[in-house]
Amino acid sequence: ATRQPDHHRRLDLGTRHLPRWPVTPATARRGLTKTHVLREDCERGSISLFLVVVVLALFAVFGLVVDGGARLDAQRRATDQAEQAARAAAQAINPTSLRDSDTVTLDPTAAQAAARKYLDADSGITLTGVHVSATTVTITVTSNVQPVVLSLVGLHTLTVTGTGTAQLLRGSTATAVTP
């Protein structure tokens, strides 16, 4: 009688080399070949790389939202302060031109002083330019914003600029209506 080979017994493999890829009961059951197992090994850790890329992208978006919002708010504030300083400067009319020629013009020195005085009350705004013509004053200011999130990647200051213009208008005289 021929004896059936015992599958649980170790066989002498002699000079036969064992495969370098892992042959486990799970891979044997699934019928995976060396190519399948090596391909799975090559993809090992790919989810970690994907996770790192996604986290960095979310961090960048978060930084742009937070610090971009702060920049837009500072831009709005700088423009508002420039417009208010231009209105204050437009109040500096030249009394001599009004008396001599009955025309209203701006006094450039007084207009610059009025704009500086208005902006001195706000320490975060710097006056960078004043242009005064006969009836128009244009004020340019700058402000710096310190980013919160983007400062972690080396962006420490954002500079915003605001411009405001005011025009000197002469009011009309109304005639009183008598009953």
pLDDT, tens digit (0-9, with 9 covering 90-100), for 91-143 = 888 888 777 777 788 888 999 999 999 998 877 888 899 999 888 999 999 99
Closest CA to 165 of 83, 77, 75: 83
The sheet carrying 136-145 orders its strands as 125-132, 136-145, 158-167
Question: In sequence order, what are the beta bridge partners of 166?
Answer: 137
Q: Give the model's confidence band at 169: pLDDT under 50 very low, under 70 low, under 90 confident, else very high.
A: confident
